[in-house]
Amino acid sequence: MSKVIDLCLDLPPSAEEIVESLKFQTLGKGQKGPANYRHIFGVGKARALGLSLAELEQMAEELSPLEFEAKLRERANAVAISLEQFVQQLDDAEVSWGVISAGAGRPDHNERTAAIVARFPHKFVGVAMVDPHQGMKAVRELERAVKELGLGGLYASPYRDGISPNDKKYYPLYAKAVELNIPVFVYTTMNYRTDFPMDLSRPLHLDEVARDFPELTIIAGCGGWPWVFEMVGVARRHQNIYVDTEAHRPKHLATPGSGWEMLLQFGNTLLQDRVVFASGWGNYFLPSEGVIKQVIAEVRSLPLKPEVVEKWLYHNAARLFKRA
């Protein structure tokens, strides 16, 4: 098995994080905005603990809040794994290193991420998250995260920020990223929030960004689905755009009618040097044990030329980050 680099390496959630996520999915019934994700991910998250979403909702209705949380924690403790165990799994799967983000949306995100990188510097590269609505405060925080905390990229999240990737509030951050010589990861797909437009972060928005910042390395996450044809077009047009397919099971990419046909065609030919592996395995609700090996095996089973598979899994990211 050849080496692998994972540019969206989800960390195993702690028992507390599992509990909080399930409480949100269960107790958010009927709410708008992010709570709509319960229809997308709620079933899988409940199944990971051996329950259905309906059973979780029934538990929440019948038990007191403290009793409900205790039941969730009991099940979460049974499936949670430590960072040390996870790193061993990465070694077993021959993952050289991966890009991580710890506590997305939390005010101490950058510190939390940096602390984990400091524990496993050979295995992780951290990405910073800042609030573009804070103007120069966000720019200074990005510089601090890179120069003082040692993080190696910026994550621009229209899903969280409520603005498109080409919104001018991001522009000072893009300029700083160029200055710092770090890539920017951009959430590039539809979202299921009912308080934001569905196409807030469609790939077409990256065309303006790439034109205005030709020196900026952009990694478009989630493959631009369902606008995969746009993603391919924008990537063909701009040499500084890379594409990953995080949050989508690799085994489904080759399914006829899935919408990925164009990316597989171009990713096997004209874009073979600019597709990078990013598992985003936390979205699959598979048991943590062995999940990375399984996802990598699914990539290797795609109808791609053998040398292209190795580019997707390792060589493109190694060249992009200048790190083997």
pLDDT digits (tens, 9 = 90+) for 248-277: 999 999 999 999 999 999 999 999 999 999
Average pLDDT, rounded, for the chain:
94
Cβ–Cβ contacts within 10 Å for residue 287, how many? 11
Predicted pLDDT at 39:
77
**Quick one: CATH architecture of 4-12+81-321?**
Alpha-Beta Barrel (3.20)
* Residues 208-237, mean pLDDT to the nearest whole number: 98
Tokens linked to 196: 């934001």
Tens of pLDDT, residues 160-203: 999 999 999 999 999 999 999 999 999 999 999 999 999 999 99
User: What's the pLDDT at 321?
Assistant: 97
Q: Are 315 and 5 in contact (CB under 8 A)?
A: no
- For the cut 80, the answer to whether the pLDDT of residue 59 exceeds it is yes
Percent of residues, the chain, with pLDDT higher than 70 = 98
Q: Does 152 score more than 60 pLDDT?
A: yes
Q: Provide the b/e sequence for 264-281 (b: ≥16 CB within 10 Å).
A: bebbbeebbbbbbbbbbb
Q: Which comes out higher in pLDDT, residue 9 or 286? A: 9
Please report, for the chain, the start and end positions of each structural domain, with discontinuous segments joined by +: 4-12+81-321, 15-79
Buried b (16+ CB within 10 A) or exposed e, 110-121: bebbbebbeebe
Work out the burial of residue 244: count CB atoms within 10 Å of its CB; fewer than 13 is exposed, 13-18 middle, 19 or more buried. buried
What angle (nearest 5°) sits at the alpha carbon of residue 228, between those of residues 226 and 229? 125
Pairwise CA distance, residues 164 & 201, whole Å: 5
Which amino acid makes up residue 5? I
| Least confident piece of the model among 3-7, 26-30, 68-72 | 26-30
Token reading at 305? 């030329």
Taking the C-alpha atoms of residue 306 and residue 135, their distance in angstroms, rounded to an integer, is 45
Mean pLDDT of 28-51: 80
Q: Is the pLDDT at 283 greater than 80, yes or no?
A: yes
DSSP 279: -
At residue 1 the predicted structure's pLDDT band, cuts being 50, 70 and 90, is low
Question: Residue 109 contacts by C-beta under 8 Å, 6 or more apart in sequence?
Answer: 101, 102, 103, 128, 129
Single-letter code of the amino acid located at 300: R
Nearest-5° Cα angle at 295, 289 to 300: 140
Q: What is the token pair recorded at 179? A: 């200055």
What pLDDT, on a 0 to 100 scale, did the predictor assign at position 105?
Answer: 81
Q: Looking at residue 112, what is its pLDDT? A: 97
The label of the residue with tokens 């085994």 reads 251
